Chains A and B, each alone.
Chain A
């Protein structure tokens, strides 16, 4: 076995209580020369403060994406790699089961494959949402892939195509879940696999699926197509769980002060009020729940923006409504090149209960991707494209009517040609009449 290179800098990262990736890599280096040399190259980076990988083209037979090639650039004066066993160190991006659930059995099988064909280093998970099998030679990429594929797994995205998506734990274990995230995730992504495996879009396109407005998948900031769970009807309440919450959080007196500080004062639209129990209103849009003999919470659901705060604080005592579904926000991304963009609302609500509902989401996703493919410039994300052409042409192309939920406020400048106003009002009224 090849002797270890001295790694005084990396050794420092074996100290301290948090689990150490260096210790793990050293364990692999006992059996893998590739990892001996990987430590050599990484230690060099720590010395020189420079990276030494370059990309290239490596793929598996039949796919055009999903492998991230890495070749060393750290070479001696004769152009020979200084750490030859790690000269090729490619990554396979593999899509995990939606929600990142595993049995120990499947994890062990994946480990065995990667020990057989790769370095033994696996990231659970990369920022793209993939299982990252890191470190294989060009030759072994294919053989590792075939065994992973045989277990029922598929490669993820890379380059200018649809990317691997992420969905939260959601319906599998979370009471705030407003739709079946895993089913929606799989329905959409498994219908656009050609865009993942053979990327040919203007630029990358990411989906993320969060079950409620807490948006645990960061979909609003980090995806081109964010599916965020939300509900239309009233917040549900549970008297027994409210009573238990009061007991746990200060008792009849202390809990009332806490409710004011933690819940009432933090409601962004003042939709929730503390009321004397006998003064609580009744009505179609009112939710209420007693806290003590004297006090109760009253929520005017028409004022509520479904932010989740009160539900997060009083989980169970308060809960999302029954009429659940999702909002679709398009165009989130980081700075390059027109400044950071959040996704913005294009569908305020759609049901996602049945296969039929999910099929509508799939159709919407296809329409959006097709419009993006036809209209975006090279290296332009859909958020930037919408910024360039305006939201309205995008909505018209997709066939979505404007909705005040799509804006923070209406236009504050007069620079718009409005000579179609009357026709537009007539069109909207006619459409509304037809629905009613």
Chain B
């Protein structure tokens, strides 16, 4: 389709609709049972069967997508939902598509249609769901790496774990292209870790950056105003700098991204659910991994090591954090073959609370 002719038009005032009411886009069986569901089970991986108190039943087939979808892919999903489903779908927080039907006979043909068109059915229960991720080089203004490419590589490697329910509990992954961590907390997270202080282009700072705001942004007070070559600029105390990159968004001349020194770190044990333990934050367990497009094999290898150890050793219903709570950190490093280094001992705010103030010691 070619672009329509550009004409001189007067822009319209926006109508502040707010969040649309989902009722207009909901499967009619969902619509008439809002707030009245009784239970669900999973007839097979990738399929949820929900039963309402009214006796109504629905089957939902969940499938993975690439999240960044071209209109043709979305239309393909619409074709599948029109032909094999009942014209409705929704998306999960991890960009899986869910097509719901009220007729159980439609489930198998729907699964077949999704898989034939390249959408793997799975992601339910104790499987590894799609990676929650960010924009990366495709669209972000501050990324240290790409997102979609890392995710594609990881999900190719974890394809069977997505399609089957063979893990101790659900496994959530995320990736993030800088330490802001838009990908979020996860059982296993891959996050950019810069290893060198920003390189400053002193010619540009005065014009592009609000210097006091940049000084204030630094979490370790490592930035101070300075006159460089007669121009107002900023300088970084490189001994104090923790290479977090927080100064880069408000001041692009403080370039933090580097083709070699921007590395990746892997984190484990983030859990948002309150099930069993309180929610937990993830912990860094590996760093210094090369930023290696197009497929980041070193990152995939570390993630797979952790997944394999968890799959083999985790007990039913243990999330990664529960598993590590039981086996302890020494055993975690032993089982995954990762190396515990001094960099993994916290020295930032609240660090003291992460030290072992007991003789609960494992051998």
Contact = CB atoms under 8 A, between A and B. Distances in A.
A319 to B, nearest CB: 7
A155 B73 CA distance: 23
A104 B81 contact: yes
A60 B69 CA distance: 24
B116 interface: no
A185 interface: yes
Contacts of B71: 28, 111-112, 114-115, 120-122
B323 interface: no
Contacts of B281: 221, 340, 342
Interface residues of A, number: 133
Interface string B223-267: 000000000000000000000101000001000010110100000
Interface string A132-161: 001000011011011001001111000000
A146 B2 CA distance: 19
A274 to B, nearest CB: 16
B91 A24 contact: no
A27 B185 CA distance: 33
Interface stretch (A288-296, A310-318, A413-421): A310-318
A121 B68 contact: yes
B-side interface mostly = loop
Contacts of B89: 101-102, 104, 107
Contacts of A177: 35, 37
A427 to B, nearest CB: 31
Nearest to A266: B276
Nearest to B35: A171
B15 A308 contact: no
Contacts, number: 378
Nearest to B96: A124
A371 interface: no
A2 to B, nearest CB: 13
Contact of B274 (A96, A155, A213, A378): A213
A6 interface: no
Interface string B115-136: 0001110000000000011111
Interface string A330-351: 0000111111101000000000
B350 to A, nearest CB: 5
B141 A70 contact: yes
Contacts of B137: 42, 45-46, 50-52
A98 B349 contact: no
A193 B348 CA distance: 37
A324 to B, nearest CB: 9
Contact of A197 (B14, B75, B90, B183): B14
B316 A262 contact: yes
Contact of B142 (A51, A98, A258): A51
Interface stretch (B101-109, B153-161, B306-314, B333-341): B153-161
B48 to A, nearest CB: 8
A234 interface: no
10 contacts: A24-B66, A50-B137, A101-B90, A120-B71, A143-B9, A173-B58, A174-B50, A175-B50, A238-B39, A335-B179
Given A100-B91, A127-B134, A335-B348, 13 more contacts: A95-B19, A95-B20, A100-B90, A102-B88, A107-B77, A112-B71, A171-B37, A185-B19, A222-B185, A308-B275, A316-B41, A337-B219, A340-B281
Interface of B: 1-4, 6, 9, 11-27, 30-31, 34-35, 37-41, 50-51, 58, 60, 64-75, 77-78, 81-82, 87-93, 95, 97, 100, 118-120, 132-146, 148-149, 152-153, 155-156, 159, 179-185, 213, 216-217, 219, 244, 246, 252, 257, 259-260, 262, 270, 272-277, 279, 281, 291, 293-295, 315-317, 348-350
